[in-house]
Amino acid sequence: MADLIDIFEERGFIENTTHDEELKDYIRNNTVTCYIGFDPTASSLHVGSLVPIMALSHMQKNGHIPIVLIGGGTGLIGDPSGKTEMRKFLSPEILEINIIGIKKQLSRFIEFGNNKALLVNNNDWLSELKYIPFLRDTGRHFSVNRMIKAESYKLRLDSEDGLSFVEFNYMLLQAYDFLKLFDKYQCRLQMGGSDQWGNIVAGIELIRKARQDTSFGITFPLIKTSNGTKMGKTAKGAVWLDSNRTTPYDYYQFWINTDDRDVARFLALFTFLPMDEIRYIKNLEGADLNSAKTVLAFETTLIAHGRDEAIKAYQAAASVFGERFIPEGIFTSSTVPRYKSEIKDESVPCSYIDMDVFKSGIPAFKLFQEVKLALSGAAARRLIDQGGAYVNDRRIEKYDELIISKDINNMEIILRSGKKRIHKIRIKQ
Partner RNA sequence: GGUGGGGUUCCCGAGUGGCCAAAGGGAACAGACUGUAAAUCUGUCGGCGAAGCCUUCGGAGGUUCAAAUCCUCCCCCCACCA
Give me the residues that bind RNA (CB under 7 A), please: 160-162, 227, 234-235, 253, 256-260, 286-287, 289-290, 293, 317, 320-322, 363, 366, 369, 375-379, 381-383, 386-388, 400, 417-421
Nearer Cβ to RNA (24/421): 421
Q: Which is nearer to RNA, 306 or 418 (CB)?
A: 418
Strand residue runs (E) in 207-359: 216-220, 233-234, 237-238, 350-354
189-193 and 16-17 beta bridge pairing = unpaired
Minimal distance in Å, beta carbon 156 to RNA?
A: 9
How far apart (Å, rounded) are the C-alpha atoms in residues 190 and 192? 7
Q: Which residues pair with 65 in a beta bridge?
A: 33
CB of 291 to RNA, least distance (A): 10
Between the CA of residue 264 and those of 4, 226, 276, 428, what are the distances in Å? 20, 12, 11, 44
Minimum CB distance to RNA, residue 271 (Å): 17
Residue nearer to RNA on the CB measure, 136 or 420 = 420
Smallest gap from Cβ 293 to RNA, in A, equals 6
Q: What number of residues does the chain have? A: 429
Measure the CA–CA gap between 63 and 30, rounded to whole angstroms. 10
Query: Torsion over CA of 257, 260, 265 and 268, rounded to 10 degrees?
Result: 60
Distance CA 261, CA 360 (A): 50
Residue pair 398/410 in contact (Cβ under 8 Å)? The answer is no
For residue 409, give the 3-state DSSP assignment: strand
Shortest approach of RNA to residue 385 CB, angstroms?
8
Q: How many CA atoms lie within 13 A of 2 on its CB side?
A: 12
CB-nearer residue toward RNA: 193 or 388: 388
The least CB distance from residue 400 to RNA, in Å, is 4
145 vs 386 by CB, closer to RNA: 386
- Nearer to RNA by Cβ, of 28 and 382: the residue is 382
Q: How far is the CB of 421 from RNA (least distance, A)?
A: 5
Residue 377, H or E segment: helix 377-385
Between residues 110 and 425, which has the closer beta carbon with respect to RNA?
425
**Cα–Cα dist 38/66, whole Å:** 13
